[in-house]
């Protein structure tokens, strides 16, 4: 199985590790724009060294209650980082919902658009259709500011699955090749702790859809709810969740802790007859 991302055909015969690179003022430095960019690039290079297959560059926080960022500011944050990394040999993903940011990122060389809003912002689908980038369509109930207020489902697995398949079909209808699409059930996005784990436990159901499945649970609050640990102490819970996602057949795992997740991947691979 492959995921076609522009010129890159990602081989999904083993799970790929997507390393998270946040380009936000608070993540790395309190210096100026240059420091912020330099720190993000340095971090990305470290993640490559640790074994990341894909780098996910994000300039806007989608955590509940986070401040919104303007189009101009988001472009200012992510574009220089993408330009610096575009020839590093790894696939470059941009984590955004804004069509203008997608267009700027694609122009700068990004291979993947990773959208927690599944290309629902006006103009987003058109930007993606005009290029050949890979796209990750994620499910979210509500909007980041309020999504955790009252998650509501009759059957979370069925409803998320139906949403994602509808969205994939619609994107295909408007011209996104099937081989370019990846789906993500959106762990932590408008779901209770129980609902998040119901999705994780049913990863195989999503894998059976035939589309590549991306899972992102790294450091998320549901892991904190179960372990009683703060964000900085959720590495073991994150790697445990990543391993469960791999065992369920997920092909792309989005993580902060690349080195530790690669160790888990190596152990997992020994139980399959596959090679790195
Ligand atoms: C995702 O799951 N998540 S940004 C809250 C946290 C920790 C981490 C402390 N973009 C996903 O990583 N894209 C984000 O609590 C994503 N799938 C895809 N495809 C949120 C995040 C985070 C939020």
The token pair at 263 is: 């160790």
Confidence (pLDDT) at 207: 98
- Reported as a pLDDT band with limits 50, 70 and 90, residue 66 is confident
d(CA 239, CA 234): 9
* CA 102-218-75 angle, 5° bins: 20
3-class DSSP assignment, residue 245 = helix
Q: Is the pLDDT of residue 275 over 70?
A: no
pLDDT of residue 24: 86
Interval 146-160 mean pLDDT: 96
Domain chopping of the chain, boundaries? 13-275
Question: Which residues does the annotation mark as catalytic?
Answer: 220, 254
134-138 and 181-184 beta bridge pairing: parallel
CA-214 nearest atom, ligand 1: 19
pLDDT of residue 27 exceeding 70:
no
Residue owning tokens 């290079």: 45
Top mutation candidate among 216, 221, 225, 253 for ligand 1, by most atoms within 8 Å of CB: 216
Which DSSP string corresponds to 228-241? ---GGG-HHHHHHH
Q: How many CB atoms lie within 10 A of CB 249?
A: 15
3-state secondary structure of 135: strand
Query: What is residue 62's predicted lDDT score, i.e. its pLDDT?
Result: 74
Would you say domain 13-275 falls under CATH 3.20.20.20? yes
Ligand 1: nearest atom to the Cα of 231: 9
Q: How many CB atoms lie within 10 A of CB 143?
A: 12
Q: Which of 62, 97, 251 to mutate for ligand 1's pocket (most ligand atoms within 8 Å of CB)?
A: 62
Which residue of 27, 63, 102, 245 sits with most ligand 1 atoms within 8 Å of its CB, as the best mutation to test the pocket? 63
Quick one: which H or E segment has residue 257? none
> For residue range 74-94, what is the model confidence (pLDDT) as tens digits?
999 999 999 999 999 999 999
The whole-angstrom distance between residue 256's C-alpha and the CA centroid of its chain comes to 11
Residue 70: half-sphere exposure toward Cβ, Cα within 13 Å: 3
Detail the DSSP E strand segments found in 37-119: 54-58, 91-95, 112-115
- Nearest atom (ligand 1) to Cα of 219: 7
- Round the average pLDDT of the chain to a whole number and report it: 95
Centre of ligand 1 from the C-alpha of residue 62, in Å: 7
Q: Supply the pLDDT for residue 25.
A: 82
Nearest CA to ligand 1 atom 2: 216
Contact at 8 Å (CB) between 113 and 102? Answer: yes
Task: Kindly state the average pLDDT of the residues 21-26.
Answer: 87
CA 273 to centroid of ligand 1, rounded, Å: 31
Name the closest-CA residue to atom 15, ligand 1: 220
Q: How confident is the model at residue 34 (pLDDT cuts 50, 70, 90)?
A: confident
With a Cβ cut-off of 6 Å, ligand 1 is lined by 62-63, 95, 114, 116, 136, 138, 184, 186-188, 214, 216, 219-221, 231, 254
Q: How far is the CA of 66 from the centre of ligand 1 (A)?
A: 12
**Which tens digit of pLDDT belongs to each residue from 234-254?**
999 999 999 999 999 999 999
> What DSSP state is assigned to residue 148?
T
Q: Which two tokens stand for residue 196?
A: 């998040």
Task: Give backbone dihedrals phi and psi of 140, rounded to 5 degrees, phi first.
Answer: -140, 140
- What percentage of the chain has pLDDT greater than the value 70? 96
pLDDT higher at 92 or 26: 92
Measure 259 CA to ligand 1 centroid, in angstroms: 18
Q: pLDDT higher for 26 or 146?
A: 146
- The model scores a pTM over 0.85: yes
Does the structure show a pLDDT above 80 at 273? no
Is 109's pLDDT higher than 60?
A: yes
Atom of ligand 1 nearest to the CA of 114: 19
User: Is 114 a residue whose pLDDT tops 70?
Assistant: yes
CA of 89 to the centre of ligand 1 (A): 24
Quote the CA–CA distance of 13 and 269 in Å, as a whole number.
11
Cα 187 to ligand 1 centre (Å): 8
pLDDT over threshold 80, residue 73: yes
Report, as an integer, the average pLDDT of 208-228: 98
Beta strands of the chain (E only): which ranges? Answer: 2-5, 8-11, 16-22, 54-58, 91-95, 112-115, 134-138, 181-184, 214-216, 252-255
């Amino acid at each position: 199985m492959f995921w076609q991302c522009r010129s890159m055909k990602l081989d999904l015969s083993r799970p790929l590790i997507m390393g998270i690179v946040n380009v936000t003022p608070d993540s790395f430095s309190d210096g100026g724009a240059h420091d912020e960019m330099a720190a993000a690039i340095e971090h990305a290079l470290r993640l490559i060294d640790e074994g990341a297959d894909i780098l996910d560059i994000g300039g806007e926080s989608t955590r509940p209650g986070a401040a919104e960022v303007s189009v101009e500011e988001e472009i200012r944050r992510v574009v220089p980082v993408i330009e610096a990394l575009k020839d590093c040999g790894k696939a470059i993903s941009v984590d955004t919902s804004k069509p203008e940011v997608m267009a700027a990122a694609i122009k700068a060389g990004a291979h993947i658009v990773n959208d927690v809003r599944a290309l629902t912002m006006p103009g987003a689908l058109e930007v993606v259709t005009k290029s050949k980038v890979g796209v990750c369509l994620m499910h979210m109930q509500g909007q980041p500011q309020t999504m955790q207020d009252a998650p509501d489902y009759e059957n979370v697995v069925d409803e998320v699955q139906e949403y994602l398949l509808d969205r994939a079909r619609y994107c295909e209808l408007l011209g996104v090749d099937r081989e370019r699409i990846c789906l993500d059930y959106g762990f932590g996005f408008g779901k209770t702790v129980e609902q998040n784990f119901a999705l994780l436990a049913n990863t195989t159901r999503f894998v059976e859809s035939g589309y590549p499945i991306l899972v992102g649970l790294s450091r998320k609050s549901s892991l904190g709810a179960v372990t009683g640990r703060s964000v900085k102490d959720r590495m073991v819970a994150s790697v445990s969740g990543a391993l469960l996602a791999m065992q369920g057949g997920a092909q792309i795992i989005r993580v902060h802790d690349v080195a530790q997740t690669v160790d888990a991947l190596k152990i997992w691979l020994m139980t399959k007859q596959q090679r790195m």
